[in-house]
Amino acid sequence: MIDTHLNDQRRYRRLIKKLIYLTITRPDITFVVGVLSRFMYQPREAHWSAALKILAYIKGCQGKGLVYRKYEHVRIFGYSDSGYVDNRGNRKSTTRNCTFAGENIVTWRSKKQDVISRSSAKAEYRVMAHTACEMVWLKNLLVELSFRQFGPMHIHCHKQSAFYIAQNLVFHKRTKYIEVDYHFIGDAWTKNMVTLQFTPSLKQLADRLTNIVSPQVFSNLCNKLDMLDIYAPV
């Protein structure tokens, strides 16, 4: 079948806008909705078919959602990952990160980076900076709500070269193409606000949150994110 442009593009845009709104409470569809949203102005039949499959998935698990539990701590940690030049159209990488407070997921994001990274380490370094900013914002919010965060916040990442850039106090020529704003992560690490922890790809929640994975891996991811279906049989 020839993949042609949709005749009624407004219908596709209305559907994607509603799905974007749904991602506020459904991190399991964040990646695929983010990909389909890139074709808002030139959707094709294949994109419409993919959007209908999302609706079929949502209809099959209408009671699925995040469960927030009470924990004895409000420790903040996050996962960061980047798909290096995974967009074949403009060669831009995709930022992927999620943050937790007291084992409960608070924020998650899958966003195409604004600039083209010249290496996978730089792409990862940028998303680590975004994650650190969100964690600092979350910490300040909890302090205003009379919660206290003790000790540094942990960022889980599986790119060791990005660790070396963040921990290098004297930025060498390999980082001169990175905007000054992104060196925030290096300053936060120096002040012991955040710590960097190596996490294998199999345990990287941000990677699984925004990548094409098998049904079994996808199901395990939903369990780790505390997503339960209240209508599922016990």
For residues 198-212, average pLDDT: 70
On the question of pLDDT at 114 being above 70, the answer is no
- CA-angle at 50, arms to 120 and 2, nearest 5°: 100
Please tell me which residue, 148 or 85, carries the higher pLDDT value. Answer: 148
Most trustworthy range by pLDDT among 41-55, 100-114, 123-137: 41-55
- Output the pTM of the full model: 0.75
On the question of pLDDT at 54 being above 90, the answer is yes
What domains sit in the chain, N to C, each tagged with a CATH number? Answer: 1-60 (no CATH), 76-208 (3.30.420.10)
Q: Over the stretch 24-38, which tens digit does the pLDDT of each residue have?
A: 888 888 888 988 988
Interacting residues of 67 by C-beta distance below 8 A, sequence separation 6+: 226, 227, 228
For residues 60-89, average pLDDT: 78
Interacting residues of 101 by C-beta distance below 8 A, sequence separation 6+: 74, 75, 76, 138, 142
Query: What is the rounded CA–CA span in Å between residue 83 and residue 68?
Result: 29
pLDDT at 119: 59
Name the DSSP letter for residue 90: T
Confidence of residue 70 (pLDDT cuts 50, 70, 90): confident
On the question of pLDDT at 48 being above 90, the answer is yes
Interacting residues of 11 by C-beta distance below 8 A, sequence separation 6+: none
Interacting residues of 212 by C-beta distance below 8 A, sequence separation 6+: 31
pLDDT at 56: 94
Query: What is the rounded CA–CA span in Å between residue 167 and residue 171?
Result: 9
Asked if residues 188 and 167 have their Cβ atoms less than 8 Å apart, the reply is no
Name the DSSP letter for residue 44: B
Query: What is the rounded CA–CA span in Å between residue 172 and residue 230?
Result: 53
Query: What is the rounded CA–CA span in Å between residue 50 and residue 52?
Result: 5
On the question of pLDDT at 173 being above 50, the answer is no
pLDDT at 1: 46
Asked if residues 197 and 155 have their Cβ atoms less than 8 Å apart, the reply is yes
Name the DSSP letter for residue 103: T
